[in-house]
Structure 1
Amino acid sequence: MKTLTLAAAALLTSTTLACAADGKPIYKDCGPNNDYVIGFSQANFKEPYREHVNHELERLVKQYPKFKLTIADGQASVNTQVSQVENFVTKQVDLLMISPFESAPLTPAVTNVIKKGIPVIELDRKTVGDDFTAFVGGDNRQIAKEAGQYAANTLLPDGGEVAILEGLPSSSPAIERLEGFKDGLADNAKLKLVAVQPVDWQEDKAVTVFGAMLQAHPDIKLVYTSNDLAAAGAYIAAKQAEKADQVKIIGTDGLPGPSGGIRSVADGQWAATFTYPTGAAEALDLAKKILIDCATSVPRNVMVPSQRIDQTNAKALYDKEQF
């Protein structure tokens, strides 16, 4: 199995720490004898990746009998998530987890939680500024850069036209993945980026957008997508245009299961996908340190390693997960 050589991921955590004032515990009501309520505002329940995150959290939280986890569906709505955060505060949760649907609009709500002395772990996506206790996720920029380099050096060494299907432009992962992939493509001057358009993480929108791209640029040889749903949509569009054998597809998420990215690579529909880790185990470990162990400091950023899934390992990984 090939693992990305991510500098930040190799360390797993940054050296920057979130510290409480005067060496006091981050959460004043901490301790091993208490029970704790954790509220998680998930960006939405529609995306398969987010369902995967929820499943992992629900599975792993069973290892922490002192924790009660409540997961709320943000419904891809800033207003919904703001209301959820406010409701969690009203219900006096001991710790908030959040994957913000959009970064800037949710920043004030998260800042208010921090001001009330409630620790905040941001999962996968960040708000703006430093008003959070810890962030857990993959290095979006570096993962996408590795994807760009893979396209430049392995998939299209002789050059060709390339397209990008971006995620939701107002979300931090979409921005970082777009910039990172462009950086990786720079390894090969013979590659030409001919089209970039957001599809907001949606499969149906990816079908429409990439279909139009192929009409405007019939010689596209590779498309990079910001998530596996968009990759699935790109494959449908390529097939409809009778160009499935021409276009190499790179996804991002590397989801398990019969409809996930791992199988799509194993079946030869896509050239590759790059796993985006859920961070569930790391987030719950941080919660334990803060709530039960009375930590006075925790890492500000916890970066979780990714893995490239391609024709060399996809079938073995997919077969393994069936048992």
Structure 2
Amino acid sequence: MSTRFDGRSSAKFAALAFAAFCGIGSAQAADKQFLIGFSQLGFDHPWRVAMNDQIQAEAKKHPELKVVITNGQNDNAKQVADVENLLQQKIDLLIISPNEAAPLTGVVKKVYDAGVPVIVVDRSVLGDAYTMFIGGDNKLIGVKAGEYTAKWCADQKLSPCNVLEITGLSGSPPAQDRSSGFAEGLKKNPAAKVVASPTSEWQKEKAMPAAAAAFQANRNINVVYGHNDDSAAGAYLAAKNAGLDLKKMLFVGIDGLPDPTGAIVSVMQGRQGASFVYPTGGAEAVDWAYKILVKKEKAPKKVTLGTDEINPGNAAEMCKKYGCKSN
């Protein structure tokens, strides 16, 4: 007995076979796990730790993704080596928060030119050899901090109103933008002037001696603007140790973390006058990695994240919004 296939049967069989093949292909694609390398510039700051935590938490939502995190130890050469190593591991996508722009540009371009998507977070690199950038608007946040300071000086009827600006790492784009933005915002009050701009390199431990030296040189400082909250906190301790009248001073910072030692709690407790939230972008980076690798979506070149002003009037509300953590 023989079996005969007519044209319609053959077509039907071919269609079923094709559908089965496509199904297998789809199942294989769904089972594929993509390797994401995250090159973090360092682990020694609470804001960086928060970024790491948010990246890991977001990645857990997607079983298709596996994330490997490296610690650049705030060293350009170490971070370059980290990225080179991740590339050798055949990562499917790189997320990087560069220590400094120029030294990391070359290795980022190397990864991008190798056909690996690159998401740059927080700090930019030079040129446009990357897939997308995600970060807050440092210039705008600086402007807002400057305007807040200008208004406070006017409200206190201080003329002159002497401002100590404690800068972040001088070669980093965030420090440059936060400084230029602050200067722009401060122009709203001609009586407000920056009298010194030492660097803390984002570290509380370095902000303390830098501020102490500034207070020794000028005991008439009215405002401290820290490029991050750790810098403002270090200056607060230095002012306290110097015996200055803290109730007559304003301490402004950037980050707005909800941790027990973060700015939201500090504002609520009266140590810091204001802070501006600088989102880490960690969760957004992983979300876009998922869209690029799994959903095959085209990413925009730039995603700018918003901010919130934290002040004594809304600190409790911000605490609820961002979920303040207890010890």
- TM-score tier, shorter chain, comes to 0.7 to 0.9
- Structure 2 equivalent of residue 288 of structure 1: 290
Give the paired residue count: 293
Which has the larger Rg?
2
Worse-superposed segment, 123-132 or 309-318: 309-318
- Residue identity in the other structure for 1:312: G
Shift of 1:317: 3.2
State the alpha-carbon separation in 2 of the partners of residues 97 and 44 from structure 1.
14
The 5 A counterparts of 1:1-323 are: 32-157=30-155, 158-159=157-158, 160-243=161-244, 244-295=246-297, 297-318=298-319, 321-322=324-325
Structure 1 residues 57-95: Cα deviation after superposition (integer angstroms, max 9, x where no partner): 111111111000111111001111111100111000000
State the alpha-carbon separation in 1 of the partners of residues 126 and 100 from structure 2.
10
Q: Is the 8 A contact 1:135 1:302 kept in 2?
A: yes
- Structure 2 equivalent of residue 3 of structure 1: none
Shift of 1:156: 4.1
State the alpha-carbon separation in 2 of the partners of residues 186 and 205 from structure 1.
28
- Residue identity in the other structure for 2:169: L
State the alpha-carbon separation in 1 of the partners of residues 308 and 272 from structure 2.
16
State the alpha-carbon separation in 2 of the partners of residues 216 and 305 from structure 1.
37
Structure with greater helix share of residues: 2
User: What SS does structure 2 have at the residue aligned with 1:197?
Assistant: coil
Shift of 1:31: 5.7
Q: Is the 8 A contact 1:32 1:293 kept in 2?
A: no
- Residue identity in the other structure for 1:59: A
Say what the alpha-carbon RMSD is for the aligned residues: 1.6
State the alpha-carbon separation in 1 of the partners of residues 316 and 153 from structure 2.
19
Return 5+ residue gaps in structure 2 as ranges.
1-27
Would you identify which runs of 4 or more consecutive aligned residues in structure 1 move more than 3 Å? 30-33, 154-157, 316-320
Shift of 1:292: 0.7
Return 5+ residue gaps in structure 1 as ranges.
1-29
Q: Is the 8 A contact 1:31 1:293 kept in 2?
A: no
1:31–1:216 distance in 2 versus 1, CA, 3 Å: farther
Identity %: 40
State the alpha-carbon separation in 1 of the partners of residues 324 and 39 from structure 2.
28
State the alpha-carbon separation in 2 of the partners of residues 315 and 155 from structure 1.
24
State the alpha-carbon separation in 2 of the partners of residues 209 and 162 from structure 1.
14
State the alpha-carbon separation in 1 of the partners of residues 299 and 31 from structure 2.
21
1:270–1:100 distance in 2 versus 1, CA, 3 Å: same
Q: Is the 8 A contact 1:137 1:278 kept in 2?
A: yes
**Comparing both chains, which one has the higher relative contact order based on Cα–Cα distances under 8 Å and sequence gaps of 6 or more?**
1
Q: Is the 8 A contact 1:40 1:70 kept in 2?
A: yes
Q: Is the 8 A contact 2:58 2:287 kept in 1?
A: no
- Structure 1 equivalent of residue 14 of structure 2: none
User: What SS does structure 1 have at the residue aligned with 2:292?
Assistant: helix
1:155–1:33 distance in 2 versus 1, CA, 3 Å: farther
